Amino acid sequence: MKNILLFLFVVVVGALFVECSEDGELTPTFIDRDRYNVSDFSSQEEMEIRNRFYEETGCFLVFNDSLAKREAVTPAGIYIFVDTIDLNYAASSRTQHKFDYTKLSTIEEKEAAADFLLNEVLTRMDTIYYPYSFFMVDSLIFTRYMVAGSMISYRDPIVMGSWVCYSTTIVACNGVFDMDAEERESYVREVQKGMVLGMYTQLDSLDYVEFYNYSADYYEDPYEYLVDENWEELGFIPNVWVNQEWYTQANDVPTYIWEIFSMTKEEFDKKYGQWSIVLNKRDAMVRILERHGIKVY
């Protein structure tokens, strides 16, 4: 009986392979369309802005998280599918934090946003750090959750200038068109901050040796040297970029990047001036970034 069942199973499976071969090979559809370069959700005026930006930078520019439409024929009928931007887990998660964004609405806003990104932000970055595409939005707000036992609370929302995702980098305007010159300069650095936080790991770890050396003796067991919770004495900036373990080598670099781009050089000097090791690490990080084509000050 078992042999009969096995024989029938082999016959059925074999028939399936024959059927597939008779139908021919399956081929993907819409492979001739780059989802970031179609006009399914853009007017002609908007496409002109997007095309000009691509010609200038080699990066695609979108203003909508819906990229393209495609038609699929199924036994149940014809359906229209919409391809959307694949934001990474850090941007789409709702477990430990969340991002909320609003879109630009008018063609004038979109043109001004593209000019801002092109002429004020990207001029401070080497082209090797340009992403595949930019998704420009009106506002971008980051909220971190705080979990204590069974209770969940929220930290105060943070206005974010940018955030790096898989195939796109979100860049927000956040009212930049109404800012004065000093505010605008500060906001440009805010946009830079998100972009640098998303790409600093592209540099080899050896590039950061000059920075690491200042706190190298403390990474393994900082509590052995800690006095009165004075982390700055060891060269660490506590609780800025990460909730905990800011004293690890892995978190030291992004913590300094966050703080360096969050304020002017003078503001940094005033806040951390009493700790020479912090200022030395700041200066080392600035040299490293500028050596690799990122303007800091």
Structure tokens at 159: 């206005």
For tokens 């800690």, name the residue: 226
Q: What is the pLDDT of residue 34?
A: 67
- Domain residue limits, the chain: 35-200, 203-291
| Segment holding 184, helix H or strand E | helix 181-199
The 10 Å CB-count burial string (b at 16+, else e) for 208-245 is bebbbebbeebeeebeeeeeeeebebbbbbeeebeeee
Give yes or no for a contact between 236 and 222, defined as CB atoms under 8 angstroms apart.
yes
Query: For residues 75 and 228, what is the distance between their CA atoms, to the nearest angstrom?
Result: 70
pLDDT digits (tens, 9 = 90+) for 87-121: 765 566 555 667 889 999 999 999 999 999 999 99
Q: What is the pLDDT of residue 74?
A: 80
Give yes or no for a contact between 290 and 126, defined as CB atoms under 8 angstroms apart.
no
Q: What is the pLDDT of residue 244?
A: 66
DSSP letter (8 states) at residue 294: B
Q: What is the pLDDT of residue 31?
A: 56
Q: What is the pLDDT of residue 209?
A: 96
H, E, C per residue of 248-288: CHHHHHHHHHHHHHCCCHHHHHHHHCCCHHHHHHHHHHHHH
Structure tokens at 295: 């303007």
For tokens 């074999």, name the residue: 14
Q: Is the pTM of this model over 0.85?
A: no
Residues 6+ apart with CB under 8 A from 67: 35, 36, 38, 40, 41, 82, 83, 84, 85
Where does the chain show beta strands of DSSP type E?
A: 60-62, 66-74, 77-84, 97-102, 133-137, 139-148, 151-154, 158-159, 162-164, 169-172
Within the chain, which residues score under 50 in pLDDT? 2, 4-13, 15-22
